[in-house]
Chains A and B, each alone.
Chain A
Amino acid sequence: MKFKHFSAAFVAATILATSFPVAADLTYPMLSYRTGPYGPNGTEFADGYADYFTLLNERDGGINGVKTITPECETAYNTAKGVECYESTKEGALIYQPLSTGITYQLIPKVTADNIPLHSMGYGRTSAANGKVFSHVFNYPANYWDGASVIIKHISDEEKGDLKDKKISLLYHNSAYGKEPIRTLEELAKKHGYKLTLVPVDHPGQEQKSQWLQLRRDRPDYIIMYGWGVMNQVAIKEATNIRFDMSKFIGIWWSGSENDVLPAGEKSNGYKAVTFHGVGDDYPVFDDIKKYVKDAGKAAGDGSNIGTALYNRGMYAAMLAAEATANAQKIHNTKDITSGQMRDGMESLKIDNARLKTLGLEGFGPEINVSCENHGGPGLAAMQQWDAKAKKWKLITEFVESDRSVIDPLIAEDSSAYAKENSLKARDCK
């Protein structure tokens, strides 16, 4: 009996798995995560992503008249589930934005073979910025190494340009994601003369007592954090416990959301994070989102997180995908684009300030120029600081450039190592 049930269920699964709908709409599969230790962060990003496409459908009737759809697949930030999600949604997919460095690494070879572009915005493999080696992977507008470099620049500005013998600690998520900036920070340490100590935190990062004991003993001048999910909240709470000066505690953009600072309350005031896009909901596009999406009852979430850091980032990611789609429609002169054409659209994407203004996002991010060699975009980033009273982030610097003289050789080195391991030949970029 048991076996019969099992086989019947299996047959059902076959029918379901093979009868996935193939729509003529523009398809943007979302490998999102709303569960697990990273769920609170993943939810905000996913809501922003879905809401922007809903806005395009409701306000403009899609992109140049073609409706968009965003089928969702839950990954729980787990790479094996990410693979399953990718395989089940890749039919007709235009682009993947998995919001996970682990899943990005997994998908890099697969999307290249399947001719689907992968956009890891501010995460993933940093050396994918080298378009000659990574034909289908994009990480504009900024990557982890840009983030690390801009943080060091900011610290250097705070210290009036002298970092000699300063102690800087990197508190990082002990995974591919957290390890990415280490080499950049080491190179920068050689250049600026600061001392770097590495403090790893294992997944999921709920327990950090020993790390903070070490930090308390070391007394670093600055702490840089590359954390995600529950690890951020715990770290910020622990920092307030040892009365660390919050203005000297700086996170990467994935450690700079409202979820991370709110649990520590007033004490988290002054915590900083680097970001590559604007904060708050003071941009015209949010009025449209409220009008066409939230008030019409079509929001992906309950609508309460509009304007939070990660919601904005998801919305920004969707905007970049939509702009690339429009660009692809233009250069290939067709409305129903394929994933290969989408890739071309991304590779020649240009968004200037005038365009940002028409989108209702004036000053939200820097201008973006993608080319065949450079899949990493401008690499500009700004600092944001938490105001615990107002419960708001505010930008405290302009968007500044990272240290290209350090990062570019590192990108060349890492991408050529990848090319060698996989016996790839660099593309010719005319």
Chain B
Amino acid sequence: MFYRESGDFKTSYAEDQQSFPIKFDRYAIWILLGFAFFVVPFFINDYWEKSVLVPFLVWSMAALGLNILTGYCGQVSLGTGGFMAVGAYSCYKLMIAFPGMNIFIVVIIAGLITALVGIAFGLPSLRIKGFYLAVATLASQFFLIWMFNKIPWFYNYSASGMITAPERTMFGIAISGPSAPSWATYLFCLTLVTIFAFIARNLTRGRIGRAWKAIHDMDIAAEIIGIPPLQAKLSAFAISSFYIGMAGAMLFGVYLGSAEPGEAFGINVSFLVLFMVIVGGLGSILGSFLGAAFLILIPVLMKNIMVGGFGWPADLAAHLELVFIGGLIMFFLVVEPHGLAQLWRITKEKLRLWPFPH
């Protein structure tokens, strides 16, 4: 009944190749986006902005970035936290150096700087693979954090090494800083994530994405059929770092407002994003969003149910939350090792036949 392909005729190549070829899918996406852009901003408050929606969007962006590298191109990276720090610190230095610059441009440039750093640290991937590459990227994580701790120029010689985002605007509306309205920061993040999710979706379906997938499956075979591993691997590192850098800039500038390298961008962040990608589904754009939602929103939801709903003590709730999240991760990985995105795919298959399965 749902997701029917019969009767949905395509009469041109453009229609056949569009992002969402199934009509039902396409309408669902448009309705969701319409709701997110035109309804949510009127009802959003500080709590929903700072605790639910903006964190979800920021981490989705990071998960998208890592999914390009790990999910599509098959290069395991543990340097996500370090790359997010590069984005955040570039964002900070740009904000301080050019106070009048539009924050949208600041975030994009921060992403580009991170892309360059990503290419530099991606070079070892040409020689080493798998676990060994994970170790090399782990080194980049520690090196970058050490650098932001060590060199005072990055944090403008402040006494504590903390960076704080000043108020910066876009079209005269504050996006960063404490007086930024909730709807503005939300729409800012939503716009960025929407644009770049569409770009990622189309990149992964095109020539570059196919090259990544070929490298992912077997890089020697890919080389033999004419895919240059240098270009494919480094482009994956560059584009993935670009996304992750933007996520770092948004995390620091729009969401948290201040950060220190060790805590906001530590190794646990690298693991968090990696788990988002694994739980959500490797090599799936939808999976990036589902993984981010799972690991960012479920804890907030559980806290609200246990502390706000049942009135349980905060520490008991915090401990139970760890147990539940761990249990849920294991449950989902046992039930569906390919992640939440695969569950959705199966659901879709079932819906296609419903109500008359074989």
Contacts and interface: CB of A to CB of B under 8 A. Distances in A.
Contacts of B258: 105-106, 108-109
Q: How large is the interface on A (under 10, 10 to 19, 20 to 34, 35 or more residues)?
A: 35 or more
A202 B262 contact: yes
Given A74-B317, A102-B260, A105-B160, A13 B300 contact: yes
Interface in A200-255: 200, 202-203
A143 to B, nearest CB: 11
Nearest to A1: B347
B164 A126 contact: no
A179 B304 contact: no
B161 A176 contact: yes
Interface in B190-221: none
A12 B305 CA distance: 8
A17 B47 contact: yes
Given A180-B160, A414-B159, A422-B164, A17 B177 contact: no
B252 to A, nearest CB: 11
Interface in B214-235: none
Contacts of B135: none
Interface stretch (A83-91, A276-284, A314-322, A377-385): A83-91
A182 B160 CA distance: 9
A425 interface: no
Nearest to A73: B314
A16 B262 CA distance: 33
A179 B160 contact: yes
A320 B303 CA distance: 30
B256 interface: yes
Interface residues of B, number: 55
A199 B50 CA distance: 36
Contacts of A74: 303, 307, 314-315, 317-318
A112 interface: yes
Contacts of B343: 2
- In terms of DSSP, what is the predominant structure of the interface of chain A? helix
B344 A2 contact: yes
B160 A72 contact: no
Contact of A17 (B264, B308, B314, B318): B308
Contacts of A43: 315
Interface in A1-36: 1-3, 6, 9-10, 12-13, 16-20, 32, 34-35
Contact of B319 (A35, A101, A127): A35
Contacts of B308: 16-17, 19-20, 88
A35 B50 contact: no
A13 B263 contact: no
B169 interface: no
A390 interface: no
Given A3-B347, A417-B158, A83 B266 contact: no
Contacts of A175: 161, 260, 262-263
Interface string B262-295: 1110100000000000000000000000000100
A126 B159 CA distance: 9
Contacts of A87: 46-47, 49-51
Contact of A13 (B301, B315, B319): B301
B47 A183 contact: no
B50 A113 contact: no
A79 interface: yes
A301 to B, nearest CB: 10
A88 B47 contact: yes
B19 interface: no
B162 interface: yes
Nearest to B167: A422
Interface string B83-125: 0000000000000100100000000000000000000000000
A88 B51 contact: yes
Contacts of A418: 158, 164
B207 to A, nearest CB: 33
A80 B55 contact: yes
A106 B257 contact: yes
A112 B178 contact: yes
A35 B318 contact: yes
Given A35-B319, A84-B51, A87-B46, A78 B313 contact: no
A19 B322 CA distance: 25
A76 B319 CA distance: 10
Contacts of A167: none
Interface in A48-84: 72-74, 76, 78-80, 83-84
B347 A72 contact: no
Given A10-B301, A13-B300, A105-B160, A83 B47 contact: no
A183 B159 contact: yes
A79 B49 CA distance: 16
Contacts of B178: 109-110, 112-114
Interface in A115-174: 125-127, 174
A177 interface: yes
B17 interface: no
B166 to A, nearest CB: 5
A35 B260 contact: no
A114 B293 CA distance: 29
Contacts of A180: 159-160
B164 A421 contact: yes
Given A32-B314, A34-B315, A203-B263, A101 B51 contact: no
A421 B156 contact: yes
A101 to B, nearest CB: 7
Contacts of B164: 105, 108-109, 418, 421-422
A333 interface: no
A198 B262 CA distance: 17
A113 B178 CA distance: 6
Nearest to B51: A84
Contact of B315 (A20, A35, A106, A114): A35
Interface of B: 45-52, 55, 96, 99, 149, 156-162, 164, 166-167, 177-179, 255-260, 262-264, 266, 293, 300-301, 303-305, 307-309, 313-315, 317-319, 322, 340, 343-344, 347
Given A35-B318, A88-B51, 4 more contacts: A74-B314, A84-B50, A176-B160, A418-B158
Interface of A: 1-3, 6, 9-10, 12-13, 16-20, 32, 34-35, 39, 43, 72-74, 76, 78-80, 83-84, 87-88, 90, 101-102, 105-106, 108-110, 112-114, 125-127, 174-177, 179-180, 182-183, 200, 202-203, 410, 414, 417-418, 421-423
27 contacts: A2-B347, A12-B301, A12-B305, A13-B52, A16-B309, A76-B318, A78-B263, A79-B263, A83-B255, A87-B49, A87-B50, A105-B160, A105-B260, A106-B258, A109-B177, A109-B258, A174-B262, A175-B263, A180-B159, A182-B159, A203-B262, A203-B263, A410-B159, A414-B159, A417-B156, A418-B164, A422-B177
**Closest 10 pairs between A and B when the two form their complex, measured CB to CB:** A34-B315, A113-B178, A109-B178, A176-B160, A74-B314, A74-B318, A84-B51, A176-B162, A72-B314, A16-B304
